[in-house]
Chains A and B, each alone.
Chain A
């Protein structure tokens, strides 16, 4: 069964450093998403991506964040200068269309120290 894969599963980084979280969405999916879940809080939408551009982003997704689909398979989330409050589980998701359910990856736990 096809699945969304995320790497790494856990990343520890120092405050101020740049991190790139990687995702391989399901191959025939066209819509891609990043969500995050701060420990003990709700899963929050960050950004959606379609046709090589951002289709929607939340207030959380400020200038420190960027997304990219560098090739036909990967979808990345970059945080330029990490802050302590960026520590969270980051989930990548993909869907075939806007009426399809989103399939989520296993998540990357980011710890900023």
Chain B
């Protein structure tokens, strides 16, 4: 069965500082990996995805993530955080064999200090 762990429930970061959100997954084959962001009162917006190929993927809003098979990780990074990045971030794993059903992590809430 697929599972996703996001070890950090809350992260507070100063505006302009770098951000890294951790994600570990469990899946028997090569997974499809996603990061979604949810702003207050909003739906889930896709930031980036990994299906295959280059293990460093670029997304929207200046985010990137790196797939590390040996560590079963897909950490999300941003070099310089803006106040508008305050939101909840969800890592998710999917698989073609599962009809693209997504399994989500518990989410990490990011607070941005001025």
Contact = CB atoms under 8 A, between A and B. Distances in A.
A67 to B, nearest CB: 14
A106 B45 CA distance: 9
Size class of B's contact patch?
20 to 34
B43 A99 contact: no
Given A42-B106, A101-B34, A91 B101 contact: no
A106 B104 contact: no
Interface residues of A, number: 27
B51 A103 contact: no
A98 B97 CA distance: 8
A44 B107 CA distance: 12
B100 A91 contact: no
A95 interface: yes
Contact of B51 (A35, A41, A44, A99): A99
B47 to A, nearest CB: 10
A102 interface: yes
A104 B96 contact: no
Interface string B48-71: 010100000000000000000000
A107 B44 CA distance: 9
Contacts of B107: 42-43
A1 B93 CA distance: 25
Contact of B44 (A42, A43, A50): A43
24 contacts: A31-B99, A42-B106, A43-B44, A43-B92, A43-B104, A44-B104, A48-B101, A55-B99, A56-B98, A56-B99, A91-B44, A93-B44, A95-B100, A98-B96, A98-B100, A99-B100, A101-B34, A101-B46, A102-B100, A102-B102, A104-B44, A105-B43, A106-B42, A107-B43
Interface of A: 4, 31, 33, 35, 41-45, 48, 50, 55-56, 91, 93, 95, 97-107
Given A33-B100, A35-B104, 5 more contacts: A41-B106, A43-B92, A43-B107, A101-B49, A104-B46
